[in-house]
Structure 1
C-alpha cells in the first residue's frame, strides 16, 4: 500500500483532530485495505470483516499516528494485525461451534489452493507468534506488509542486522512448518 502525498497529508491532518480529513482518509484507503486483507485471508467475507476492523482501528487510533514513519507503513501494521486478529477470531468460533455441529471438512473441490496455502501460512504464523513473537512481527512487516529491511528495523526500533536476523530465523521456522512450500522474496 503506497499512497500519494495527498493521502499522507490527510493522515497528518486527521491525526491532529481534523474530522473532515479523517472521513476523506477512510474513503481513500478503504479499497487498498480491502485488497491487502484479501491477500491475507482466504475468503472475501473475512477480508471485508477485517477491512472494517482496520478502518475502525484507524478512526479510533489515528491520534496515535505521530508521523515518524509514513502513514502507509503505520497502516500496513494495523492492517496485518487486524487480519490476523480476524483469523484468530474465526478460528476460535469454528472450534467453539465444532462441539455443537458435526465436524465439517472443507470440500477440496470448493477450496482453492491459494486459500489453503493462506490458511497454512496463517497457522504457521500463529504458531511462530506464540513461540517467538519478535520473529513473527519482523516477518509480517517484511513479507506480508512488504516493508524494506530499513523500514522494518525502524518500525521495531532495532538495528538493521537484528531485523535481518529475525526475518531469516522466522523464514526458516515457517519453511519448516510448511515443508518448504512457502517461498520468500528478498
Structure 2
C-alpha cells in the first residue's frame, strides 16, 4: 500500500477487501451525509443525488481491489462520486463545471461590507460584542444551519466540508477537483454570507 495511505485507511481497506460488512457500514455512516451534499451540487433533485451516492458505493465495492492508495480512501471515494455525479448531471442537462461555479460571478466579496468602514479604514460604527449566551444557544445554531443551506451549492459544499465536517483545504480541493484559489474563494464567500446572517441575528434587540 502506498505511503500516502494512513495506517487507519490501510486497515480499513484490508477489511473491505476481506468482505467485512461492518467495515463497509462504518464507512457509509461516516461519509454518506457528505456524499449526499456534494452529489446535490451536480444533479437537480435530492432523489438523483441519492441514486448517485448508491452508484458510488457500488463502485467502491467493485473497485476496492484496484485501489492503489495514491490518495486517502476518503478522497478516492469522493472522486468516484464527483465523476458519477457529473455524468448523471450532464445526462440530465443540468450540469455546470464545479470549478466554474460562483468564481466567475464577479470578483472578491468582502467578509464585511466596505460601507461599514471610514475612508481611513476604521470602523464607521464599532460592532457590538456578541453575547456569549446567545452565541451558544440552539436558536443560533439553527440560524447558522439555515444560512449554510441557503448558500449556492458549491459554496455550501465547501463550507460544510471545511467547517462542519472538519476537512482540510487539501482534502476538499482534491476531492472536488478544485484549484487552491477556487477552494479559497468559495470558502471565503460562503463564510462571509453565513457571518452576515449570524451578525444580523445576534445584533437584534432581545
TM-score where L is the length of structure 1:
0.47
Which structure carries more relative contact order (alpha carbon 8 Å, separation 6+)?
Answer: 2
Structure with the bigger percentage of helix: 1
* Greater Cα radius of gyration, structure 1 or 2: 2
TM-score where L is the length of structure 2:
0.43
